[in-house]
Amino acid sequence: MQGMKTKAFWRRMGLALCGALLLSDAIALMTMGLFNFGIVLPGCIGASFLLLAWQWPRVAHWRAASHRRQQLWQAAWIAFALWLATVAIFFYNIHRSTEAAIPGSSPVKAIVILGSGTPNCVASPTLVARLDQGLKQAQRWPQAKVAVSGGQDFGLRCREADIMAEYLIDRGVAADRVVREGRSTSTEENLLFSRRLLEEQGIAATDPIVVVTSDFHVRRAVRIARKAGFGEVAGVGAGTPLYLRYNAWLREYFAAISGWVLMEY
Angle, in degrees to the nearest 10, between helices 2-31 and 56-64: 130
Phi, psi of 165 (to 5 degrees): -60, -45
Q: What is the pLDDT of residues 79-99, one digit of tens each?
A: 999 999 999 999 998 887 665
**pLDDT for 156:** 67
**What is 44-58 written as a DSSP string?**
HHHHHHHHHHHTHHH
Mean of all residue pLDDT scores within the chain: 91
Select from 2.40.128.130, 3.40.710.10, 3.40.50.620, 3.20.20.70 the CATH code of 110-261. 3.40.50.620
Strands of the chain, DSSP E:
110-114, 145-149, 178-181, 208-214, 232-238
**pLDDT for 3:** 58
Q: What is the pLDDT of residues 186-241, one digit of tens each?
A: 999 999 999 999 999 999 999 999 999 999 999 999 999 999 999 999 999 999 98
Q: Out of 95-104, 120-129, 254-263, pick the least confident.
A: 95-104
